[in-house]
Copies of this chain bind each other. A is one copy, B any other.
């Protein structure tokens, strides 16, 4: 439930207007005013809810919501008197409707006098910069971008339009596109982890590449992306990265990938477009993960992955093979236990 202290609803909005904007059919009372969106459990009169899984049909039946975003197929499960917003993809409709009710409502842009902004930095119009933020020499900040309190934008960094840089994040040696979201504590552009052995001494290798981040990329709290050694570390348009992910120097991630929490990707690896990587998976350096492949959580990937493959385990293999191995071991122990008796 959207606590009023944190989230302001733009509602109430007429259900007819919502149905029109989001291409839904109304079954029921088309004169309703919708005040906000809430879960099946929490929604009350005047609110809309969403139904996507028959697992929750009992909750739907007892929900006090006035309206529900639902598919044609599931419509019969709704209780009498509930007005339905019928659509093909309820989850996507819900996402768009939520954004309508609770999306960013920033209106007053302010640059705090408690921020440090280098005189040579170029700050566009309608930019917000919080107290304690640091904007280095020659940094460029695009229109309608927000730099939250105590974040650090290093010298020469360029940030596009409509970006949101979370509190206490650090961006150095990087160029960011438009509509990029960095959550709090994101660390971008620090030195990669590179040393040369000479006898028994380790020489630090200066890292002189940078980080390039495309449009509409979202990067989770505490995630680290190192800059390139000689060439660049690259994150493609529309890719979404969760919290506490580690991305090594010279990694190239394609477009619209999904990288879940605590994943680690070692240096110089290439992740092609549309790859999905489950939580805590680890990917070796200098390999290529083919387009549209899926990597199960906690996998250890040591070799190239063919486009479209689904893999799991350590070392990672075809996911069916991995399930077979687990089953094989379970049976072997069962057999052995019987024999031992």
Contact = CB atoms under 8 A, between A and B. Distances in A.
Interface of A: 1-3, 5-7, 37-39, 41-42, 89, 91-92, 94-96, 98-99, 101-103, 112, 114, 116, 130-132, 134, 138, 148-150, 152, 154-156, 166-170, 172-173, 181, 183-185, 187, 190-191, 193, 195-198, 200-206, 208-210, 218, 220-222, 224, 226, 230-231, 238, 240, 242-244, 246, 248, 256, 258, 260-262, 264, 266, 279-280, 282, 284, 297-298, 300, 314-315, 317, 321, 324-326, 328-330, 332-333, 336-337
Contacts of A41: 231
Which 4 A-B pairs rank lowest in CB-CB distance, beginning with the nearest?
A: A92-B198, A116-B131, A5-B156, A95-B196
Q: What's the dominant secondary structure at chain A's contact region?
A: loop
A181 to B, nearest CB: 8
A166 B170 contact: yes
Contact of A94 (B92, B166, B205, B256): B205
Given A185-B224, A262-B282, A282-B297, 6 more contacts: A6-B155, A95-B198, A116-B132, A193-B243, A262-B264, A321-B330
Contacts of A258: 195, 202
B210 A6 contact: yes
A341 to B, nearest CB: 14
A235 B202 CA distance: 16
Contacts of A181: 191
Contacts of A173: 3, 6
B152 A184 contact: yes
Given A134-B130, A184-B172, A300 B300 contact: no
